[in-house]
Amino acid sequence: MKLKATIKSITLASSIIKKGGLVAFPTETVYGLGADALNPQAVAKIFEVKKRPEFDPLIVHIADLIWLKKLTRKVDKKAFMLIKHFWPGPLTLVLLKSSIVPDIVTSGLDTVAVRMPAHRVARKLIKLSQSPIAAPSANTFGHLSPTTATHVEKQLGEKINLILDDGKCPIGVESTVLSLVGGKAILLRPGGVSLEEIEKVIGKVSRQSKTKKIQSPGQLPSHYAPRTPLKIIESLDHIPDDKNIGVLLFKNPPFKLKDKTVEILTKKGDLREAAANLFSALHRLDESGVKIIYAESMPKTGLGLAIMDRLQRASSKRIT
């Protein structure tokens, strides 16, 4: 459903967000596909609808600086100077995340990307939703970013609860993404605010070399991969009868796994629930002190493809 953005439709949109639904909304950069950033299952729906073959960290949109404090662990002087100059606006800052940010939002990274959009409709929606909104561009994976509500409707119309229409996005390119982790400013993606403008405020910014462009979190050196070796198995019979073994199960096992540290991603066999729990379960297994993690193969449909991609990435690094 596409509705012209009015106070009434924005209020309806906020109630959809609060209930864990998806709303496409205009920002000054492009249309975003938003979900409650603190609700992992709602965020999982974003990946499902976008048909992303892998998980990618999402930008968390806020309308009030109080949320920056809640979402991050450390905001240094450089960050505050940039915020003073460019927020609200098309600048996304990558900072160390706090524990309230679900792992699915950051693809398991220890950092979170935060932006305060300037668009009237986006700000009203975030305020009324009373929660930060995680949103990538509202398009299908591999397609052009949407800068009108019609673009969104053509690509995702049937699959999302509501599209708020406020005409064309004034900027039309994505936000600039700048990492400030560890006190060093690194440009991760050029966008709505130019490098020159940023350098006027905080001085030299490093650029990521073009050949090393980060396309997905798996390519980030800081990306979370379990320290513990991980092996994907097709059947539970392949788990050795040994202690110190962690098991990542898709759903309830047909028999009891004795003396194992077990994480079940979804009791009901629901891929969306599994995706929402994946990174947190991996974190727990990694911290449990097991020697190896056996991960049950998941169905490679819907979000299962993204889950398997992530597991394959985690396993290939550690075991050949």
Of residues 26, 34, 57, 146, which one binds ligand AMP by CB under 6 A? 57
Q: CA 314, CA 187: separation in Å to the nearest integer? A: 26
Look at residue 59 and give the partner it binds from Mg ion, ligand AMP, none, a contact being a CB closer than 5 to 8 Å depending on partner kind.
ligand AMP
**Binding of residue 56 to ligand AMP (CB under 6 A):** yes
Which lies closer to Mg ion via its Cβ, residue 211 or residue 215? 215
Look at residue 57 and give the partner it binds from ligand AMP, Mg ion, none, a contact being a CB closer than 5 to 8 Å depending on partner kind.
ligand AMP
Q: How far is the CB of 145 from Mg ion (least distance, A)?
A: 6
Which lies closer to ligand AMP via its Cβ, residue 136 or residue 246? 136
Q: How far is the CB of 142 from ligand AMP (least distance, A)?
A: 12
Phi, psi of 44 (to 5 degrees): -60, -35
Exposed e or buried b per residue across 41-69, where buried means at least 16 C-beta atoms within 10 angstroms of its C-beta: bbbbbbbbbbbbebbbbbbbbbbeeebbe
Q: Is the bond into 88 cis (omega within 30 degrees of 0)?
A: yes
Site for Mg ion in 131-170 (CB under 5 A): 137
Q: CA 174, CA 136: separation in Å to the nearest integer? A: 10
Site for ligand AMP in 209-228 (CB under 6 A): 214
Which lies closer to ligand AMP via its Cβ, residue 106 or residue 155? 106
Please report how the helices 40-50 and 303-316 are oriented relative to each other, as an axis angle in degrees rounded to 10.
Answer: 100
State the binding string over 68-107 for ligand AMP (x if CB under 6 A, else -): --------------------------x-----------x-
Residue least distant from Mg ion (Cβ): 137
Which lies closer to ligand AMP via its Cβ, residue 223 or residue 260? 223
Strand order in the sheet with 2-4: 2-4, 162-165, 23-25, 32-36, 133-134, 59-61, 111-115, 91-96, 176-179, 186-189, 206-207
Which lies closer to ligand AMP via its Cβ, residue 1 or residue 144? 144
Taking alpha carbons only, the member of 164, 170, 139 closest to residue 154 is: 139
Phi-psi region at 72: left, alpha or beta (left = phi > 0; alpha = psi -120 to 50): beta
Q: CA 108, CA 206: separation in Å to the nearest integer? A: 24
Phi, psi of 88 (to 5 degrees): -65, 145
State the binding string over 110-149 for ligand AMP (x if CB under 6 A, else -): -xxx----------------------xx------------
Q: How far is the CB of 190 from ligand AMP (least distance, A)?
A: 11
Instruction: Catalog residues that contact Mg ion under the rule CB under 5 A.
Output: 137
Instruction: Catalog residues that contact ligand AMP under the rule CB under 6 A.
Output: 56-57, 59, 94, 106, 109, 111-113, 136-137, 174, 177, 188-189, 214
